[in-house]
Every structure is written in structure tokens, then in C-alpha cells.
Copies of this chain bind each other. A is one copy, B any other.
């Protein structure tokens, strides 16, 4: 009996919950003070927007919305490690990542407000829109990565999915494809401990979600998803590896869904308040702020000022969203095919005639 293969999963963290550095080898980006502050600003802007979106839903001005409260480090950490030409494939929750890529808050609101025009966005035209069927976006990213490889482009595809999403067929298929074709693909599993009401422990018997990548021969790592520096560092590494032709990775970012699943959910039905409270101790904003304050890079007054800036910007966006006119009814027909076939032309006419009556 001989051992033919061995594997291990590393856990990476730079900042502990109090914002104390627990590793010495700070990655270069984190040594750039201004850049680090900028990342903090992004996280903070994300949270500003997110709480506003929830409020809009509560007052009937938005449809169901999936909050990203607590995911800011993961979202900004990953997105900021990408280049513009890379492709991002999100689920529905990666608001912070989308904002970082240049999608406007008004566009995100439009989407959740039931308007397709929100996905015809100001972010990269090649990024994938919000994807509701769980983990199907992982294969879109894998297909994109295959396109890059076939065309010899030095681009990388990055997909997010959840802990729940890591159970889904499409996730395994994506990681298998990445391994089989040696694709420039980074799969970020955002392990926020819950898939609606199903806890991480019920999702799989695997000790870590990172190890799922072993099934496809990928590079696997688990990071503290509440630590911006760890997330960004791991993503940078995985992206560089992918860009250099060394294949795909799975990054498990361990974080916590501090909100309900969506505004249509009430998490108190199925999880302990104590658990949520404990999770707040780990949340990503505070620790980065402490770290920056400690280093003298960020002050209370800066915090105050930035929050106001965020609020103002978000308000402008909300107003733009609320002012948006309803799309023309014909839109329903005009994007089904490049050219509407005869039947659709007739049906469009029928609807337009009916709506005028």
C-alpha cells in the first residue's frame, strides 16, 4: 500500500478581528498606504449603498434585494485584484465587487427594481450580469477563460459563488473544466455560513470548501474573507498564476452573512441571534479601520467625512433610479432575438394596440 497523492489546505489571514497584523510578509499592495485607504473607502461606499438599498425595499421602492452586509472585504478584495479586461461573473450578492468594477448604484437598483436595463451597465461590457440560478455563472467564467486561452489573450475569468453554490453541479463542472483545460479561472467561494436557512455544516461533509478544488486538480486556499488584505493577496496570487498559464484556483473566503438572506427572508426563523452577534465581532470594516487608524492613515473625522460623501453619492444615485421612466413596452419583444420574428412583431403590435385602448 503506497501513498500516491497528498494535499493540504492553507488558511490565510493578515489582520485579526481587532485589526492587528498577524503576518509580517505584508503583500506589496498593502504597503501602499493610499491604495489601502482607497480600498477601505470602497468597502465603506459599498456598505452605504447596501443599507440604502435595504431601506428602499422596506419602503416599497425596490423589489427583493440581497444585501451584501459583511461581505465588503471579500468583494472589494477580489475585484480590486482584477484588471479591467478580466471577466467577472457574479451571483446576485456581489454588490461590492460590481460597484468596484464600475457598475453604477442606479443600475443595480434598476435591476432589483425589476428593470432589465440595469444590466446594460456602465461596468465592463464583458462582465456577466447578475446571475440568479446558483453557480451557473461559474461555467460562464470557465467558458470565458477557455475563450481567452483559445485566443491567447492574457486575461483571467473570476467567478463568485456561495457556500451553497459550492454544492451545485455547475461549480464542480467549472472546476473540472479548469483543471482539464488548465484554464485561467479563479473560483471564489464566498462561504458566508448560510445558504438561506441551510448552514454550511449541512451543505457538505468536507472540512473546508477550498478542498473541493482538489477534485479538479486546482490550487486551493482558504482565506479569512473578512480580512481585505488576505482576500486581495490570495486573489492576486491566483490571478497571476492563472494569467501566467498555470491554471485555475479555488479560493474559499470565510465570512458571514450579517443580513437576512434577502429582504424577503427573516433569518431569525432559523439562526441564533448569538451567532450573528459573534459574527459582528469578525466583520471586515472595523478591523481594517482599526488597522488604518493605528497606522495613522485614517481618522474619525475622515471617517465622518467619507460617510457623508458616500451618503450624498448614494442619494444621487437613488434619485436617478427613482426618476427613471418605465421602459417602453416594446422592449419586451425587441431583445428576444436580434431581429424579432414575424410572430413577435404581430404580438408586439397586439400589445401596443391593447395598451393604447
Q: Encode contact with B along A6-37: 1 for CB under 8 Å, 0 otherwise.
A: 11111111000000000100000000000000
Known: A178-B205, A204-B180. A1 touches B10 (CB 8 A): yes
In the complex the two chains form, what is the Cα distance from A202 to B181 in whole Å? 8
Contact A180 B208 (CB under 8 A): no
Known: A7-B6, A169-B173. A216 touches B208 (CB 8 A): no
User: Is A182 interfacial (CB-CB < 8 Å)?
Assistant: yes
User: Is A207 interfacial (CB-CB < 8 Å)?
Assistant: yes
Q: Encode contact with B along A199-226: 1 for CB under 8 Å, 0 otherwise.
A: 0001111111011101111100010000
In the complex the two chains form, what is the Cα distance from A216 to B172 in whole Å? 11
User: Is A324 interfacial (CB-CB < 8 Å)?
Assistant: no
Query: CB-CB < 8 A to A167: which residues of B?
Result: 173, 176, 180
| Size category, A interface | 35 or more
User: Is A4 interfacial (CB-CB < 8 Å)?
Assistant: yes
User: Is A338 interfacial (CB-CB < 8 Å)?
Assistant: no
Contact A180 B205 (CB under 8 A): yes
Question: Smallest distance from the beta carbon of A222 to chain B beta carbons, Å?
Answer: 6
Contact B217 A214 (CB under 8 A): no
- Name the residue among A10, A170, A180, A205 with the largest chain B CB count within 10 angstroms: A205
Question: Smallest distance from the beta carbon of A180 to chain B beta carbons, Å?
Answer: 5
If over half of A's interface residues share one DSSP class (helix, strand or loop), that class is named, otherwise mixed; here it is mixed
Q: Which of B1, B7, B214, B217 contacts A12 (CB 8 A)?
A: B1
In the complex the two chains form, what is the Cα distance from A8 to B222 in whole Å? 18
Query: CB-CB < 8 A to A326: which residues of B?
Result: none
Contact A10 B6 (CB under 8 A): no
In the complex the two chains form, what is the Cα distance from A9 to B5 in whole Å? 5
Contact A206 B211 (CB under 8 A): no
Contact B2 A11 (CB under 8 A): yes
30 interchain pairs (CB within 8 A)? A2-B10, A3-B9, A4-B10, A4-B11, A4-B207, A5-B207, A5-B210, A7-B7, A7-B8, A7-B211, A7-B214, A167-B173, A167-B180, A169-B170, A169-B173, A176-B204, A179-B204, A179-B205, A180-B202, A182-B205, A204-B215, A204-B216, A204-B217, A205-B216, A205-B217, A205-B247, A206-B217, A212-B215, A214-B214, A214-B215
